[in-house]
A and B are shown apart, each in its own frame.
Chain A
């Protein structure tokens, strides 16, 4: 699936084909990237999902978590115009506790994996620049971070990243990571991701 097949104006793509329009409004399918961030309270997910459902938006991939207690949700949905979603989410942000953003994006989510999957784990005393230094090593090697989480508990900082590395590059990358980790005074491990399919 090439990126060019789905220009920015959001023509109907895979997933829309063969699925008649919900509420008759998705002749042109927009793909939207939405973020909702702010003070946590019960009901934010329900509020967001209801607003999208009322507009006939199809919620596709999403993640929601709490980052140090802050509500953080990122999602992709297909269907309505960005302006309509912005208007529908505006009441959520009215009290100033939540920030919602809506942005039309180009469909490109089906890219095939380009490298070999690895899991990078870093842990050590918290200090400035751990993520920056370690991910720069990955980037310079042509590695692509596909998932990342970091945690600070007490003085312990933990980074776990899933990364696709160019085939055959892992030994050299592991060596560079180890040198950078030593400079930072943190521990690092790079292991092949478990690709078992059960």
Chain B
């Protein structure tokens, strides 16, 4: 099974070549957040630029561990993730961008608290897989990757893949008393 995994193989955002611009982040109830994004052509200039913008926007946003295209107003299946240095992270793949990603294996479901830059005033308890395998495509080269991860990075990936499907963590909260007014802003 291990042989089937095609990891990031050293991919970094520098491979995108184009510099990213910081884009404004949209908040719910913006309808773009509730719209399933279409698949994209990962080799197109437009998607490469979008990928660079997502990384740039994520990097200037304190506490941000992931950002999906709908959050910058673009309905598309593209997201950036970086959980580097997060105290809850176990496996860490650094900064990466995936297009057209989907979950292919999920297990060890566990509840945890989530927030979202697009829902700045609320947090919620959401059950996510603690062991995850995701397949997607890298922007630029269009190379397919298959990533195995766990814990916090797995949670971040599921949160971003949900964004690409038009879902917020609010759609998955565990119950009526599982949403909370955010008390601490990062």
Contacts and interface: CB of A to CB of B under 8 A. Distances in A.
B171 A149 contact: no
B119 interface: yes
Given A156-B27, A156-B28, A194 B174 contact: yes
B181 to A, nearest CB: 7
A194 B34 CA distance: 23
Given A123-B170, A187-B34, A194-B127, A154 B175 contact: no
B167 interface: yes
A119 B29 contact: no
Interface in B137-186: 166-168, 170-179, 181
A126 B173 CA distance: 19
A147 B179 contact: no
Contacts of B168: 123, 187
Given A151-B122, A153-B121, A158-B170, A123 B177 contact: no
A103 B112 CA distance: 39
A194 B111 CA distance: 10
A80 to B, nearest CB: 29
A22 interface: no
> Which of B111, B176, B177 is most buried by chain A, counting CB atoms within 10 A of its CB?
B176
B179 A119 contact: no
Nearest to B170: A123
Contacts of B119: 156
B29 A125 contact: yes
Interface residues of B, number: 24
Given A153-B121, A157-B29, A187 B171 contact: yes
**Chain A contact surface mostly:** strand
A191 B169 CA distance: 13
A162 interface: yes
A128 to B, nearest CB: 15
A123 B28 contact: yes
A60 to B, nearest CB: 18
A149 B176 contact: yes
A156 B170 CA distance: 11
Contacts of A157: 29
A190 B29 CA distance: 19
A193 interface: yes
Nearest to B174: A194
A126 B33 CA distance: 16
A33 interface: no
A189 B170 CA distance: 9
A56 interface: no
A160 B175 contact: yes
B176 A161 contact: yes
A187 B176 CA distance: 16
Nearest to B167: A189
Interface in A156-198: 156-158, 160-162, 185-187, 189, 191, 193-194
B29 A155 contact: yes
A147 B170 contact: no
Interface of B: 27-29, 31, 34, 111, 119, 121-122, 127, 166-168, 170-179, 181
8 contacts: A121-B173, A124-B29, A148-B176, A153-B121, A154-B27, A160-B178, A162-B176, A191-B171
Given A119-B173, A162-B175, 19 more contacts: A119-B174, A123-B34, A123-B170, A147-B176, A154-B121, A155-B29, A156-B27, A156-B28, A158-B170, A158-B179, A160-B175, A160-B176, A162-B176, A187-B34, A187-B168, A189-B167, A189-B172, A191-B171, A194-B175
